[in-house]
Structure 1
Amino acid sequence: MVSGRIPSLYKIIFFAWLAGLCSQVLAQEVYAPTPAADLSKLKTGHPRILLLKGEEKRILDQVQKHPQWRAVHEAILHECDTILGLAPLTREMTGKRLLGAQECLRRVFQLSYAYRTTRNPAYLNRAENEMLSVARFSDWNPSHFLDTAEMTMAVAIGYDWLYHDLPAATKDTLRLALVEKGIRISFDSKYNRFVTSEHNWNQVCNSGMVFGALAIAEDEPELAQNIINRALQSVPKVMNASYKPDGAYPEGYAYWEYGTSFNVLLISALEKALGEDYGLSAMPGFLKTAAFILNITGPINEVHNWGDCGEKLAGFSPASFWFASKTGDNSVLFQQTQFMNTRKAPGQVTNRLLPAALIWGTQLDISRIKKPEKKVWIGQGTNPVGFMRTSWTNRNAIFIGFKAGTPDMSHGQMDVGSFVLDAYGERWAMDFGSQDYYSLERRGVRVFGHTQDAQRWQIFRYNNLVHNTLTINGQHQRVDGYAKIDNWSESSSRMSVISDISTVYRGQLQSAKRGISIIDNREVVIRDEVKAPDRNTTLRWTLLTPAHVKVLDKKTVELTQNGKTMYLIFDSELPISIKTWPTTPPKDYDAPNPGTALVGFEANIPAGTEQYFNTFFSKNRTGFPPIGKLDSWNGK
């Protein structure tokens, strides 16, 4: 009997070994572990983080040469003069978040920059007082480790950049705070879940810790080595999940700006202090991601703000200048330089990373920024998206941002198949974005669940009923569904994006496909093709808009705003019923939504039948070309 069991046991062991080997091979295909950092290459002395001694001269030369950089530089100095009159930060909490963490980074980074470029002792003294104030905090709020990371980065920059002009006692205090309130506590398992995460926390927290480690490396070499090596093993996890294959960042615009900016800060700091980035910038899709942030912005400078992106107005992005410098493609700065030319620089000082734009951007000739060539951009990956536009230079151009992907991810919402639409200088199809987290958390709402029955999906702004997509029988989209961009066309006469979104309606529909096309640079059509299950089904088609809504007849809706008119025209063989729905919050914890409207239609689909629905956005009410089946649309 024993001899009869041995072969089976060997088989079990063999197949287990084989499975483990395969998983290792697959893991290596996902991302290769980075080599350990060599601290023998560390730049001796200070400053060593981001901007070495004497490199201020290059910045000041460019400030004198280019009025755009001069405006940014002078705005920082003016803001620092304002900071001189403010009280140092105190330890105040808003819910679970440390109120001043981001403000500390903003103040210290800008004050340190101002001192290095002017040698005005007032900026040095104010930065010193700011850092000593936060060093006296009881802690840097490790339970919300983003706060700890930003505080650590702030003090690390000030400590490193001002090192030779700070009193010895101040340096001792700051170094102790960096080690005890920042770096060491990051090894506590209660607080360091960011090490294995695949979202922006990984990027921000690792970056903050590495800045701290680089600042005090000569005093704590073993600790610094451990922090840097941990980051080199940890950060590829989030970079692999966030940028492969095309650079589409799955958490959306606002979290791209957060996570990617800190990722770039990490790489830039390693390159300056150690002479290399250990392969991080070569991660799949990473250098392509500047095109994502370029294309996500429409002609009226509003972004496609899907997911938990609270802001829809595009902003100044220092990280874009690093990408342009790294890749040699300055077209990714097309909108950034427009911001610099058309917006007053003082408005940029709220960006706590603003000095980094001067560090990276003054290496470029911003007087020669070329216009992007492509008008269609597709990003696959964890949360695929597609962007189309009729012009890069005309404010009245048509712009569409289309969202596929899944609700089941960090900051995800039930918005698969949703879109935004700009035309004639206005946004006609919009997205609410997020609601302030604290406004929900203080009411006891669990904001971040991802199961199908999570309380998150009861938040008004977060489910499919208020997104520009389909709802079946009043049900929520399936959290575990996923849709990619299946087909697209870059034809100037018929740009289009198509996605099979069936899996997010599993159990509700047999199939569902959505295509969006810009026809002859004039009008837009959304085509939905669905097949009902073996029971009658009610389909709801929804548009969220800031426009005034007027139903004209059984197939036509008039949208008006700011003296402009757009028609919404429905076309289907199946009878439809045009409807409007309130955007008034149904629960007391929901945020108000003034100036918005929901309009669309409902249709009863007979069991087992296939149906199509065409929806036109146009300045005209008639004269539309025939719209064929999605399978007939030319693509790729």
Structure 2
Amino acid sequence: MRLTMLFMILSLPVFAQTDTLPKSTEVPGHPRILLLKGEEAQLKKLAASDAVWRKMHNAIIAESDMMLGLPNLQRELEGRRLLGVSRECIRRLFYLSYAWRTTGDRKYFTRAENEMLAIAAFADWNPSHFLDVAEMTLGMAIGYDWLYNALPASSRKTISAAILEKGVKTSLDPKNNGWLRATHNWNQVCNAGMMYGALAIYEQRPELALQIINRGITTIQLPMADYQPGGAYPEGYGYWGYGTSFNVLFISALEKLFGKDFGLTEKPGFLQTAGYLENMTGPTGAPFNYSDAGNGGGLNTAMFWFAGKQKDPSLLWVEKSWLESGKTHTRDRLLPAIMLWNNNIPLSSVQPPSALLWTGAGRNPVAMMRTSWTDKNAIFVGMKGGSPSVNHAHMDAGSFVMESDGVRWAMDFGMQDYNSLESKGIQIWGRAQNSQRWEVFRYNNFVHNTLTVNGHLQTVEGDAPITAFNRGEDFLQATTDITSLYKGDLEKAVRGIAIVNKQYVLVRDEIVAPQKETVIRWTLLTPADVKITGDNTAEFSKNGQSLTLKVDAPLPVRMKTWSTQSDKDYDAPNKGTILTGFEMTVPAGFKGALNVYLLPKKDIQTAAVKALGEWPASK
């Protein structure tokens, strides 16, 4: 054991010195994870005094009642993953344990105990895909800790042994712990799961538990560095909900038990990432779903933790809308955490943010702008720079989404289910220029709202920074230099997107071609019906609303539409969508600009367009 731990520690990257737990550390008795003994009274008082939190509490209890009749989970893999079972483990044990602690009704205890014993009997928790182990361990740790004082000795022995042997100790094997060196969500999720397991069985193996906790405090700093400088999360909306939520679970457990966060919340950009997540949702409720993200939004419980930390209820404006939507949110396996993290903030105190533009630099820089936080018909634009080399990224540098009149006109497909590709032998995790990943229809630049040049893929090693932005409400804008994404095809390419006078969207591309004839394709993916109406115009219609796309270019353009149906059997069907835009052939050495207007109203008078370098910019 000592040699294994020594090998593991020596193989880790070098980190800055950070505060960790000393060998003399003692922990209180159970329950010790997130909710200490006697704190149930606070939850019951909160539910009794506030209608919103009463609704959440009652939804958790009602869902726990539904779980009473379900069969125990079984070790059934989907492809190479047990992850679906692990996530349901968290959901069931978090809900049932919450119900037991807040009501004292034995039926919830019995159901949770039976579930834990069934999971403990699994042959293993699938360490070859370690997220499965991490989530299973976290769920089992909460259940074991919260039920501990009522569990019979035999159940304690069986469940704690499984947490130790099938959870915590598997992370000591180098073949299972490559995530310790990862800078993405795996690190956050796996560290959280292993620390929860260590906390659960602390009194049995205090030395090992302490090593696991300190290892987590040290190594979780790697992915936390990706939030700097301003909070933009490089893996996008969906993985923010995953990685960041588990990062918060990690910190919250430390704070509750030890009274401090070991400097983790001071990491640059981490607390500011709440602004990123809030601004990622448009007026329709749909997220800016670039990279491997789904196209649906939802409640994010971790936002309540952030709002409390920053003492800023306006960070909950979008979460408020989800709580008022009438949905119960009970498919969210972390929903009980909202009762722990809501800081007793009344929704009536939640006001909309004041800023209409948010921008964040970093590995996948983004900018989001809108004309209003309260008008469901507001114009919204989300634009990104970045690189296909980022974890879970697509070839989408320069891409954007756009809404107006309650319709998302410019959309992103987001992710395709991993197993649907892996089951057909598609290698989706390579990020080299010639990787099979880029043959997947949804992942390359041909289907994103950006440029394609000479029919080529974007350059994987390219990186597009956001070079300027403006917060002025009459000309909200962000600009990104996408030149390096078109290595060998363009000498220069800079894209600026603006909302002008709160009336329309302008997309301007400034291009310098090499000394050869070049074909530029400009595309927009939409769920709307599209009709080409002229040499440089197209009309979109959806849900009784309309949008005009108008092109102003120095050379003739060929307006087109393209099908979004792939001829490859592994690609997802993309029904109800179409690509539209134009192609333009430019001569050798061409220097010029393309202006595309997205006009929600037909009678809008557009303003003269200045060069991107002359656009107003904030400091």
TM tier relative to shorter chain: over 0.9
Match for residue 202 of structure 2? Answer: 217
Contact 1:482 1:504 in 2 (8 A): yes
Aligned partner (choices 536, 546, 550) of residue 527 of structure 2 = 546
Pick aligned residue for 1:489 from 470, 481, 506: 470
In the alignment, structure 1 residue 509 sits paired with structure 2 residue 493: no
1:230 to 211, 215, 223: 215
1:239 shift after superposition: 0.4
1:278 is the counterpart of 2:259: no
2:153 to 153, 168, 187: 168
One-letter code aligned to 1:177: A
Q: Which deviates the most, 369-378 or 449-458?
A: 369-378
Q: Within the alignment, does 1:388 sit opposite 2:369 as a pair?
A: yes
In 2, distance between residues paired with 1:133 and 1:466?
Answer: 45
Match of 2:278, SS? helix
Determine the C-alpha separation between the residues in 1 that align with 2:182 and 2:327.
38
Mapped contact 1:80–1:123 kept (Cα < 8 A): yes
Question: 2-side partners of 1:362 and 1:493: how far apart?
Answer: 37
Superposition pairs of residues 58-69 of structure 1, within 5 angstroms: 58-69=42-53
Determine if the alignment matches structure 1 residue 336 to structure 2 residue 338.
no
Q: 1:305 aligns to what?
A: 289
- The alignment partner of 2:466 has SS state of coil
Give a deviation string over 1:309-332, Cα, whole Å, max 9, x none: 02x222111100001111111111
The answer on whether the counterparts of 1:255 and 1:309 sit within 8 Å (CA) in structure 2 is yes
Equivalent residue, structure 2, for 1:133? 118
- Give the secondary-structure state (helix, strand or coil) at the position aligned to 1:574: coil
Aligned to 2:172: 187
1:250 equivalent in structure 2? 234
User: How do 1:337-486 and structure 2 match up within 5 A?
Assistant: 337-345=320-328, 348-486=329-467
Map of 2:305 onto structure 1? 322
Q: What SS is found at the alignment partner of 1:139?
A: coil
Change (3 A) 1:364 1:622: closer
1:18-33 equivalences in 2 (<5 Å)? 32-33=16-17
| 1:573-597 deviation line (CA, Å, top 9, x unaligned) | 1111101111011211100000000
* Deviation, structure 1 residue 64: 1.2
The structural deviation recorded for 1:40 is 4.1
Moved more, 365-374 or 228-237: 365-374
For residues 81-120 of structure 1, what are the structure 2 equivalents within 5 Å?
81-98=65-82, 99-120=84-105
Alignment match, 2:144:
159
> What secondary structure, in the 3-state scheme, does the structure 2 residue paired with 1:130 have?
helix
Q: Matches of 2:115 and 2:90 in 1, distance apart?
A: 10
Distance between the aligned counterparts of 2:437 and 2:466, measured in 1? 26
SS of the residue aligned with 1:97?
A: coil
The 10-residue stretch of structure 1 (436-445 or 618-627) with the greater mean CA deviation from structure 2? 618-627
Matching of residue 147 in structure 1 with residue 124 in structure 2: no
Partner of 2:275: 291
How do residues 535-574 of structure 1 correspond to structure 2 at under 5 angstroms?
Answer: 535-574=516-555
Distance 2:98 2:234 in 1: 33
Q: What is the CA distance between 1:622 and its match in structure 2?
A: 5.8
Secondary structure at the counterpart of residue 493 of structure 2: strand
Q: Distance in 1 between matches of 2:250 and 2:520?
A: 48
1:52 equivalent to 2:36? Answer yes
SS at 1:460 equivalent = coil
- 1:59-108 per-residue CA deviation (whole Å, 9 max, x = no partner) reads 11111111111111111111111100000001000001113110000000
The answer for the alignment partner of 1:121 in structure 2 is 106
Q: More helix per residue: 1 or 2?
A: 1
Determine if contact 1:41/1:274 at 8 Å carries over to the other structure.
no
Confirm or deny: 8 A CA contact 2:517 2:588 kept in the other structure.
yes
Match of 1:4 in 2: none
Aligned position for 1:198: 183
Range that drifts further, 213-222 or 462-471: 213-222
Measured against aligned partners, the alpha-carbon deviations of 1:441-466 in whole angstroms (never above 9, x if no partner) come to 01000011100000000000000000
Relative distance call for 1:40 and 1:369 in structure 2 (3 A) is: farther
- Greater Cα shift, 618-627 or 540-549: 618-627
For residue 156 of structure 2, what is the amino acid of its counterpart?
Answer: K
Q: Is the Cα–Cα contact under 8 Å of residues 605 and 611 in structure 1 kept in the other structure?
A: no
Q: What CA distance in whole angstroms lies between the structure 2 residues aligned with 1:183 and 1:136? A: 16
Q: Find the aligned partners of 1:314 and 1:38 in 2 and give their Cα distance.
A: 42
Q: Contact (CA 8 Å) 1:538, 1:604: kept in 2 or not?
A: yes
Q: Deviation at 1:370?
A: 2.2
Alignment match of 1:628 (pick from 607, 610, 617): 610
Tell me: CA distance 1:39–1:59, structure 2 relative to 1, closer, same or farther (3 Å). farther
SS of 1:568 mapped into structure 2:
strand
Distance 1:173 1:620 in 2: 69
Q: Is the 8 A contact 1:569 1:621 kept in 2?
A: no
Aligned to 1:207: 192
Q: Whole-Å Cα distance in 2 between the matches of residues 63 and 409 of structure 1?
A: 42
How far 1:362 sits from its partner (Å)?
4.3
The CA deviation string for residues 252-275 of structure 1, in whole angstroms up to 9 with x for no partner, is 000000000000000000111222
The answer to whether the 8 A contact 2:23-2:207 is kept is no
Residue 75, structure 1, aligned to residue 56, structure 2: no
Q: Which amino acid aligns with 1:490?
A: R
> 1:39 deviation in Å?
5.8
Please state how far the C-alpha of 1:611 moved relative to its aligned partner: 1.6
For residues 17 and 296 of structure 2, the distance between their equivalents in structure 1, rounded to whole angstroms, comes to 38
Contact 1:574 1:611 in 2 (8 A): no
Whether the 8 Å contact between 1:38 and 1:274 is mirrored in structure 2 is no
Q: How do 1:539-618 and structure 2 match up within 5 A?
A: 539-618=520-599
Q: Which sections of structure 2, spanning at least 5 residues, go unmatched? A: 1-12
Asked whether the equivalents of residues 530 and 541 of structure 2 are also in contact (C-alpha less than 8 Å), the reply is yes
1:601-634 Cα shifts (integer Å, max 9, x gaps): 0001111110211000112266211111111101
Q: TM-score, normalised by structure 1?
A: 0.94
Identity of aligned residues (%): 49
How far the C-alpha of 1:340 sits from its partner, in A, is 0.9
For the 8 Å contact 2:503–2:604, the answer to whether it is kept is no
Q: TM-score, normalised by structure 2?
A: 0.96
- Tell me, yes or no, if the aligned pair for 1:36 and 1:232 is still in contact at 8 Å: yes
In structure 1, distance between residues paired with 2:25 and 2:45: 29
Secondary structure of the 1:185 match is helix
Task: Supply the RMSD in Å over aligned alpha carbons.
Answer: 1.1
The CA distance in 1 between the partners of 2:557 and 2:498, in whole Å, is: 22
Q: Would you say the 8 A contact 1:325–1:363 is kept in 2?
A: no
- Does structure 2 conserve the Cα–Cα contact (< 8 Å) formed by 1:576 and 1:603? yes
3-state SS in 1 of match to 2:348: coil
What amino acid sits opposite 2:440 in the alignment?
I
2:9 aligns to what? none
Once the 2 structures are TM-superposed, how far is the Cα of residue 41 of structure 1 from its aligned partner? 4.5
The aligned counterpart of 2:6 is none
Partner SS, residue 486 of structure 1: strand
